[in-house]
Amino acid sequence: MLLYILKLLIVIPLIGALAWGTLRLAQKLQGKLGATPSGSKAVRIVETTMLSPTLKLAVIEFHGREILVSASRQGLTRLAEAPAREPAE
């Protein structure tokens, strides 16, 4: 019985440390895996606004276009589209 408890005291923190390390590694790699080979991303979120706890508006830049979408529990809906604006200096 003592050997069983000793094994638990060693294995449980080890499993917790592995889970924590895996989550930290996933956070670090999250941005790198979605990038294109040139280092620039094809899709960029320009701005987001919460309208209610279940509804969000977002402006997404994609291939020189800005697309206004609403995000809700039911999914995404495209609301408008316009040419991308030049960055302000």
9-46: per-residue pLDDT in tens? 999 999 999 999 999 998 888 766 655 555 567 888 98
Integer distance in angstroms from the first to the last C-alpha of the chain? Answer: 70
Q: Are residues 28 and 45 in the same domain?
A: no
* Residues 21 and 49 occupy one common structural domain: no
Tell whether 4 and 26 lie within a shared domain: yes
pLDDT score recorded for residue 34: 56
Same domain, 54 and 88: yes
Shared-domain flag, residues 80 and 43:
yes
Q: Residue 88: how many CB atoms within 10 A of its CB?
A: 4
Q: What integer best gives the mean pLDDT of the chain?
A: 86
Considering the domain architecture, whether residues 22 and 49 belong to the same structural domain is answered as: no
Q: Tell me, what's the pLDDT at 10?
A: 93
CA dist., res. 64 & res. 44, Å (int): 10
What is d(CA 72, CA 50) in angstroms, rounded to the nearest whole number?
A: 10
Report yes or no: 27 and 33 within 8 Å, Cβ to Cβ: no
Q: Do the Cβ atoms of 58 and 45 come closer than 8 Å?
A: yes
Contact 60, 43 (CB under 8 A): yes
Enclosing domain of residue 12: 1-33
pTM of the model: 0.52
78 and 49 in a common domain: yes
- pLDDT computed for residue 30 by the predictor: 78
The number of domains in the chain is 2
Does residue 75 sit in the same domain as residue 45? yes
The confidence score (pLDDT) of residue 87 equals 67
**For residue 82, pLDDT beyond 80:** yes
1 vs 19, which has greater pLDDT?
Answer: 19
| Cα 82 from Cα 68, distance rounded (Å) | 9
